[in-house]
Structure 1
Amino acid sequence: MTPPVTPLAAPGFVEVADRVFVARYRQWDVGVGLVLGRDGAVVVDTRASDVQGGEVLEDIRRLGRDIEVRHVVNTHVHFDHTFGNVAFDTATVHAHDTVARTLEVHAEHIRAAVREDPGAAPEYGYTEADLLQVLATAVRLPDCTFGSSATIDLGDRAVTMAYAGRGHTDGDVAVLVADAGALFLGDLVEESAHPSLGDDSWPLQWADTLTSHLIAAGDPSVVVPGHGRPVDVAFVERQRDEMATVAAVLRERRLGGVSLAEALHEPDARLPYPLEHLEAATRRVWAQLPAS
């Protein structure tokens, strides 16, 4: 779960680059992308349930165009980006190899968490009804997976999917629409909250992964985060640098002999995010690095 989100703009899809649209949804403040081409459309991420995925399709229809969604891309494994896959029954779902291997396990983990605490959380935008929909949704695995990169041909343009290393999860991918200068980065970047460093994140590698994606994308004019409003490259670079600082400080403390208990409770002024937000990241670094 990410920290509380900022207020949403008007609902529905908004064009942010040539035939590239983004819709931002209240529940978990998730962003969904839509890329149009001569030979159909690509949807980037599908929200947290079959019902929410169906709402995405309705919003696409409201654009007033004859749009056929032929492809879906999941930027990573998390339920708020994948559980809506089942609503796109005629589309091919694409994702990184690790998503196919871990989605069912992740789904069971999320369902167990929801059963343990089924209450609403207005600060995250979801209700008890939303959580019941999560529980009721069947998991649809990707149809096509890849290791490093793959391309979707829309006839008059290409949509490129690329894996550059671990970060928010072990299977984050970037989605590039090069002719429009648009880059989707999933939860490798968040605008409405600090990056979500969960118990499946890779804090020591995150910044390098972002750097690789920025280099490969050239100089995109718009970057779409997993949560929040579209941003520019400068925003991504600032957040990348913050993540590099997190990695450097935690690595220094781990290799310097600081105990896990001390690291979890003793502040460090260099850290760009609150210490309580970095608990999972700290535990991950202590598990991933041997003590000096």
Structure 2
Amino acid sequence: MARTGFHEVADRVFVARYPQWDVNVGLVLGRDGAVVVDTRASSLQGFEVLDDIRRLGMDVTVTHVVNTHIHFDHVFGNTAFSAATVHAHANVGRGLEADVERIKALFRADPDDGPELGYTSRDVVEVLATDVRGPDCTFEHSATIDLGDRPVSLTWAGRGHTDGDICVHIADADAMFLGDLVEESADPSFGGDCWPLEWSDTLTSHLNWLGPESVVMPGHGTPVDAAFVQRQRDDIERVARVIRERHAEGWTLEAAVAEPDDRLPYPLPALEAAIRRAWEQVPQPTTRS
């Protein structure tokens, strides 16, 4: 996938999709400034975002950056936006330093290219060279960025893909950025920091703000509508239902991660971390081989 720059998806709401890790970056324009939503995976990639904003041919001053969650492909580019205030959920602020060390250690241990994720060894070098800038402003439940003629609402409705996922809602444009709470170009990512038993409830809360004409930007892939978010929410709830049943019936963890179930909407190997995480979150009452 080639880098294509920003295109408008709603009134003064833009999105750009980048090949490395197939990540989306948002841009929201207002009378008194602009908000960038997520900043890519390195300082250099963040500067490329700034270049793409300039190519729009508008007089845009980026006054605010919002990180939808903690993961490196969404926050490492923050350093390019030195004149902007960076906003994120409080859990991002609390956990970012440790997560930076975690992801850099992983790349040092395995720096090979990832063609399926669109990155090269050069991108890895840039990730490792980036001095990551954390958020300047954090919040627990909600915050608002005032762009003069429009508010941009930031809301945390619970844990899901991580413990710090937020939605960025531009009500007057009926547009929303959901980060990796929703993915379009791949199945949802159940990583080692996900909350599989709470994720669907978090999406349900955000769905209350969406209507049939809403435009939703996922963390990865093309913009979607509310019906897509509902379907993905339902699939994530099916995963949680199977996990809860296995736990309540006293399955061992190793049996739970190995036994297929036709109700599961995603391949079982991709759900191993979700099942293991659920077992960490709820004590095991009995055992079953």
Taking structure 2 as the reference length, the TM-score comes to 0.97
Query: d(CA) in 2 for partners of 1:264 and 1:147?
Result: 33
Question: 1:72 is paired with a residue of what secondary structure?
Answer: strand
Q: Aligned ranges for residues 71-220 of structure 1 at < 5 Å?
A: 71-217=64-210
Identity over the aligned pairs, expressed in percent? 67
Query: d(CA) in 2 for partners of 1:250 and 1:220?
Result: 34
Tell me which residue corresponds to 1:263.
256
Q: How far does residue 218 in structure 1 lie from its aligned partner after superposition?
A: 5.4
Query: d(CA) in 1 for partners of 2:147 and 2:10?
Result: 16
CA pair 9-117 structure 1, distance change in 2 beyond 3 A: closer
2:131 is aligned with what amino acid?
A
The counterpart of 2:46, out of the listed 53, 58, 73, is 53
Contact kept, 8 Å, 1:176 with 1:217, in 2: the verdict is no
Query: d(CA) in 2 for partners of 1:22 and 1:176?
Result: 14
**Quick check: 252-261 or 108-117, which moved more?**
252-261
Q: List runs of 5+ in structure 1 lacking aligned partners.
A: 1-7
Contact kept, 8 Å, 1:178 with 1:217, in 2: the verdict is no
Query: Does 2:28 align with 1:35?
Result: yes
Tell me which residue corresponds to 1:44.
37
Tell me which residue corresponds to 1:4.
none
Query: d(CA) in 2 for partners of 1:147 and 1:284?
Result: 23
2:188 is aligned with what amino acid?
P
Root-mean-square deviation over aligned CA pairs = 1.0
Tell me which residue corresponds to 1:5.
none
Query: Does 2:40 align with 1:22?
Result: no
Contact kept, 8 Å, 2:38 with 2:75, in 1: the verdict is yes
Query: d(CA) in 2 for partners of 1:96 and 1:285?
Result: 23
2:152 is aligned with what amino acid?
V
Contact kept, 8 Å, 2:2 with 2:19, in 1: the verdict is no
1:40 is aligned with what amino acid?
G
Query: d(CA) in 2 for partners of 1:116 and 1:106?
Result: 15
2:189 is aligned with what amino acid?
S
Question: 1:184 is paired with a residue of what secondary structure?
Answer: strand
Contact kept, 8 Å, 1:182 with 1:220, in 2: the verdict is no
Q: Once the two structures are superposed, what CA deviation does each residue of 1:93-145 show, in whole Å capped at 9, x if it has no partner?
A: 00001111101100000000000000001010000000010000001010011
Question: 2:164 is paired with a residue of what secondary structure?
Answer: coil
Contact kept, 8 Å, 1:181 with 1:219, in 2: the verdict is no
Q: How far does residue 287 in structure 1 lie from its aligned partner after superposition?
A: 1.1
Question: 1:224 is paired with a residue of what secondary structure?
Answer: strand
User: Where has structure 1 moved over 6 Å in runs of 4 or more?
Assistant: none
The counterpart of 1:285, out of the listed 258, 278, 281, is 278
Q: List runs of 5+ in structure 2 lacking aligned partners.
A: none
Q: How far does residue 152 in structure 1 lie from its aligned partner after superposition?
A: 0.5
Query: Does 2:228 align with 1:235?
Result: yes
Q: How far does residue 216 in structure 1 lie from its aligned partner after superposition?
A: 3.7
Query: d(CA) in 2 for partners of 1:185 and 1:260?
Result: 31
Q: How far does residue 264 in structure 1 lie from its aligned partner after superposition?
A: 1.5
Query: d(CA) in 2 for partners of 1:10 and 1:231?
Result: 20
Contact kept, 8 Å, 1:202 with 1:284, in 2: the verdict is yes
Q: How far does residue 220 in structure 1 lie from its aligned partner after superposition?
A: 5.6
Query: d(CA) in 2 for partners of 1:252 and 1:147?
Result: 32
* Aligned residue pairs, count: 285
Contact kept, 8 Å, 1:183 with 1:220, in 2: the verdict is no
Tell me which residue corresponds to 2:61.
68
Contact kept, 8 Å, 2:190 with 2:196, in 1: the verdict is yes
2:171 is aligned with what amino acid?
A
